[in-house]
Structure 1
Amino acid sequence: MTALHHRAEGPATAPVLLLGPSLGTSTALWDAVAPELSATHRVIRWDLPGHGRSPSSLIGPGATVADLARLVLDLADSLGVDRFSYAGVSLGGAVGLQLAAQHPERIDRLAVLCSSAHFDGSAMWQDRAETVRREGLEKLAATANARWFTPGFTVPELVEDHRSADPEAYAACCDALAAFDLRDRLREITAPTLVVAGREDPATPPAHLREIADAVPGAALTEIPGASHLAPAEQPEAVLAALRAHLAGTSARSGMNVRREVLGDAHVDRAQGRQTPFTARFQDFISRYAWGEIWTDPTLSRRERSLITLTALVAHGHHDELAMHVRAARRNGLTPDEIGAALLQTAVYCGVPAANTAFAVAQRVLEEDAPGN
């Protein structure tokens, strides 16, 4: 089956984030943002049909945003991705709204940038579709800077993407925008939602984003100064900060899953049960960074991480933590002999007294957890 062209970055085991483009652009729209997001997520950028390297045959006259959303789900399915977070710009943002409303079981967190739940009726988009089918994209591409960026700013690669898009596929995307109006379904969206407006955006002014934020339950709105319609290209640092903060909930949940897998439900439940408003941010910090970023990094296996952790805890004399991580090491597949070998190594590099105490701690834990006890 022919699928949308895509580009994947980041650890294969990290939470998945799909990034959608605006009309007339390609995956290059996210060039200044995606590499940074890939530190904590498996980032998958995709091209619209007839844009970038996606086949134009994937779309035809009378297409809808729901059709584009189906192509995105087909892409996710082909990659074995069941649930994912999603961020999209303009038409890409409309696809995100469609996905969140129609397929809530697939969307973890949603970010809608410089987009709308409707694009000011059908007449303008029908006219544009007819013009492009008749004349091609050269004249329209010549006005891209004025529609996309604040005065004096440009990204030549994106303007060239506009110029080189397939006219028929571009016109079919215009058909989709002409027919799109999701205002009556916004309240159905249950995914945590961030809405981002470019304060200088003439195509989808901040009022359009406020309309989404007001209707989607619990949605947050961020306005970015100095940004027009393609905010990720014009103000990447501000967009990155907003997306990182919004997506952090995904990393925290992923980190909590890993924390439970390594330390066990009983330990984590006790820690959560002792949590107070004073310690809540620290518990979130542990889940997000220690377990959501370090322990999910695929560079080292969990067995290797357990070995490293054991020696570090011996070196610093953290004996309560050592006991916890001896149990974690067993869950991660280390045998008692391998744990003993790691502790023997610490006798050389951390000192015999430190290793002596560590062996006593490990012996107690291994006996307590032995079958029959």
Structure 2
Amino acid sequence: MTVKLLNHREEGPASAPPLLLGPSLGTSYALWDAVAPELSITHRVVRWDLPGHGGSPAGLIGPGATVADLAALVLELADALGIERFAYAGVSLGGAIGLYLALHHPERLTSLAVICSSAHFGGAAPWQERAERVRREGLEWLADSADARWFTPGFTVPRLVQDHREADPEGYAACCDALAAFDLRERLPDIAVPTLLVAGRQDPATPPAQLREIADAVPGAALVELPGASHLAPAECPGAVLTALRTQLNGAPASGMAVRREVLGDAHVDRAQARQTPFTARFQDFISRYAWGEIWTDPTLSRRERSMITLTALVAHGHHDELAMHVRAARRGGLTPEEIGAVLLQTAVYCGVPSANSAFATAQRVLAEEEQEESRRG
């Protein structure tokens, strides 16, 4: 007897670390179209369709289905593909499935990313009502409001809206049944899998507070809030989602972010993160992975030595805003004002007196500000 599996698509080298990507209710694996190809450079990516969505048979689940039933289908798929342990990322209902797997099958997960999702979905009644109406009337009435529920004003992905219209009503309704019965709030502290939460700041369905609730309860969990993102963040802000997932999956950006905070201070990094947009997300990822995750973590030179080199390079190119930031970083790293002055004096010989003159003015201002801050604290 042939076992029916979730419809799925594989990308990336078969020998690479496996990564399973779960969709949201009403969409297909096309939700990951703008993210999966990039992730497949370093991972064996498997994205799949919910029952009754995309190419998955609706009959894989029935009325009264639970998230446990859906999680079992995901494990059946992984087993059929010969995947024992895998990283997992899921959106909305896909994220709920990930939480269930982390609680009940932690030995199967290497990491978990929960995107625009929740540990509960507002109680049973609204989902039961939606399921009943979908079974009676189909999905056209609901698909008409998809853009408002899924995206920020003026944005849409026609393929995903069409997926919503074409989903099987019975399969969709059974997934609503699963959301109606889902509530893992009391079990969140038991999750021991490395967990990342990604929230869309403009998400009306699962607002950031619901992701923060998970982050506060799961030991060691990290939370990223994406400006300009609504409920389907991988489709609307793929660069920002890609950056967040790479940070978790590849490790180097996470290490780089820790070094960045140690060198520049939490306040500076928090400001930079708050200013991040989907347009700048890939650049921020580049900085975290290469500048801070590879160069500043190389043990060949000490951080004091790297600070001195950085100050010199910034003077040479006239980057005075960056120079001010790295004067503060040098002080955090233990350089004295006298040592900073000696570095700048050296630049007068090799970078030119006018450049050094401007650099001394910048450094003097920063050091004076530090003295004032210390006086206020004292």
Q: TM-score range by the shorter chain?
A: 0.5 to 0.7
Q: 2:298 aligns with which of 253, 266, 282?
A: 282
> How far off is 1:139 after superposition?
0.5
Distance 2:221 2:85 in 1: 20
Give unmatched runs, 5+ long, in structure 2.
255-293, 300-378
The residue that corresponds to 1:303 in the other structure is none
User: 1:95 offset after TM fit, Å?
Assistant: 0.2
Match of 1:61 in 2: 63
Query: 2-side partners of 1:249 and 1:106: how far apart?
Result: 19
Residue-by-residue CA offset, 1:17-59 (whole Å, 9 max, x unaligned): 0000000000100000000000000000000001000011101
Equivalent residue number for residue 216 of structure 1: 218
- CA 1:280–1:77 in structure 2 vs 1: closer, same or farther (change >3 Å)? farther
Matched residues in 1 for 2:246 and 2:49: separation?
A: 22
Q: Distance in 2 between matches of 1:98 and 1:282?
A: 39
1:90 aligns with 2:92: yes
**Superposed CA offset, 1:102-121 (max 9, x none):** 00000001000000000010
Instruction: Give the residue type in structure 2 aligned to 1:282.
Output: D
- Preserved CA contact (<8 Å) 2:247 2:253: no
2:351 aligns with: none
Specify which of 2, 5, 18 is matched with residue 3 of structure 1: 5
Alignment partner, residue 175 of structure 1: 177
Percentage of identical aligned residues = 75
Show CA shifts across 1:216-235 (max 9, x none).
10000000000000000000
Residue 79 of structure 1 and its aligned partner are, at CA, apart by 0.4
CA contact (8 A) 1:40 1:251 kept: no
Give the distance between the partners of 1:33 and 1:186, measured in 2 at CA. 28
Distance, in Å, in 2 between the alignment partners of 1:202 and 1:139 is 19
2:36 to 30, 34, 37: 34
Which residue of the other structure, out of 194, 197, 207, is the alignment partner of 2:196?
194
- How far the C-alpha of 1:84 sits from its partner, in A, is 0.2
TM superposition shift of 1:188: 1.3
The size of the alignment, in residue pairs, is 258
Q: State the Cα distance separating 1:251 from its structure 2 match.
A: 11
Change (3 A) 1:10 1:173: same
Contact between 1:228 and 1:234, CA under 8 Å: does it hold in 2?
Answer: yes
Q: 4+ runs of 1 displaced by more than 6 Å?
A: none
Contact preservation (8 Å) 1:26, 1:51: yes
C-alpha distance in 2 between matches for 1:239 and 1:5: 24
Matches of 1:101 and 1:282, distance apart in 2: 37
| Structure 1 position 248, deviation (Å) | 1.1
2:247 alignment counterpart: 245
> Does the aligned pair in 1 maintain the 2:35–2:239 contact within 8 Å?
yes
SS at match of 2:297: helix
RMSD after superposition: 1.7
Q: CA deviation at 1:249?
A: 3.4
Counterpart Cα distance in 1 of 2:7 and 2:253: 26
Q: TM-score, normalised by structure 2?
A: 0.67
User: Secondary structure at 1:201's aligned position in 2?
Assistant: coil
Alignment-derived partner of residue 356 in structure 1: none
Paired letter, 2:211: L
Q: Which of 135, 138, 141 is equivalent to 2:137?
A: 135
Partner of 2:103: 101
Q: CA deviation at 1:281?
A: 3.0
